[in-house]
Amino acid sequence: MAHSNQVANEHYRMKTLENAVTTANLLAAIGGDSSPDEEPARKKRRGESSSTSTSSSSKEQRSFSEFLEEFPLSLNGQPPTKGQRIKAGFPEDRTFYDKWRAAQFGMRESHLLSQCYRRQPTLTKVARMIEMEGWTANHPLPQQILEKWQPPKKTDMETDTDLMQRIERQKWSGVAIRYFDDKQGDGVVATKSFSKGSIICDYHGELISGSLAHLMKPESSWHWTRRQHGLPTDLLSKMF
């Protein structure tokens, strides 16, 4: 969790700096048509304006960095009030206040996604997570979390300690072993619906192709199992 918070914090700090630099560059590039006599003076004014804008932008960057040091970001912290900002020597406007809240919003979004990244959560589950955190404002809506959810990458799965423990224990929610008959033997069945890309279970045996599985299992038995469960041939070949 601490890692997720740190990543989100650094991400939004860099985003803020990039936005400030982009704004400074746009201000420096602003200019209209001018006559030849006015061009040298105009170029000088542009240079002065660019230097002033860049200096102002750099000052804003340093100030917001100091703002974060004075008012650290956290999942459950409250943004500083106007009185607190002024007392600490920062501008009266809401610029830094809004940036602070935007960074916290992103931090909370990352936190929620990290809690349910193996399987796509339901609206009810996300709403319950938000309620348990005690957040009443400045947080993503459950629908936004569902829209941003993505299946985990292979590298993420390999470094997931909880996932590795589940593999060792072989206790998986929504998956069970079922005995079909003397001819079929045991098989893996799902006891609930899964979203595309969700991690269902892990396989420890030898990986074989569907064509090899056909040679290992009677064709009539194979197709009966496939029709019953609607699973692809290669997946079934891993199960038996």
What is the token pair recorded at 46?
Answer: 């542009």
Cite the DSSP H helix spans in 30-141: 39-70, 82-87, 95-114, 123-133
The full set of domain ranges for the chain reads 2-148, 175-239
pLDDT tens for each residue of 182-227 = 777 777 777 877 777 676 666 655 666 666 666 665 544 444 344 4
CA end-to-end distance (rounded Å), the chain: 38
pLDDT tens for each residue of 87-128 = 999 988 999 999 999 999 999 999 999 888 778 889 999 999
pTM exceeds 0.75 for this model? no
